[in-house]
Amino acid sequence: MAALFDPDRDSGVPGGREILAFADAAIGPDRVALDRARRNLADSLGPAAVPAAAAIAATFTKNDRIANATGIPSELRMLRNSKGIRAEFGINDYRSSANTFRHYPDER
């Protein structure tokens, strides 16, 4: 999990570094970094990995934006099971967390 926030750590996933670098570049403003991330991802996992990773990122972004826009809270079970991770990585500080804590104020 820490590899999500520290690119120097090994995630244990094949092509993990390249996938994370692609994800960072895809949401960033640097076209050169994005082109490099695409090449590295293709070199690591094959050319089909690039559109697959892009489709996953786009779908997640779409679903996340819809959930945030409608104010859908996280499920209580997921919220309780993720308490340590949310604290460790500052996820409770995300603006959209208000949607969840409006329904479950004691789960912060």
User: Does residue 86 share a domain with residue 66?
Assistant: no
Burial group, residue 99, by CB count within 10 angstroms (0-12, 13-18, 19+):
middle
Q: What is the pLDDT of residues 1-23, one digit of tens each?
A: 777 777 778 889 999 999 999 99
pTM of the model: 0.67
User: Does residue 86 share a domain with residue 44?
Assistant: no
- Total number of domains constituting the chain: 2
> How large is the average pLDDT for residues 75-89?
89
Q: Which domain holds residue 91?
A: 74-108
User: Does residue 78 share a domain with residue 65?
Assistant: no
User: Does residue 64 share a domain with residue 79?
Assistant: no
Cα–Cα nearest to 20, from 31, 97, 1: 1
Q: What is the pLDDT of residues 18-77, one digit of tens each?
A: 999 999 999 899 999 999 999 999 999 999 999 999 999 999 888 878 887 887 888 889
User: Does residue 78 share a domain with residue 52?
Assistant: no
Is 90 exceeded by the pLDDT of residue 94? no
CA-CA-CA-CA torsion sign (88, 6, 11, 65) = positive
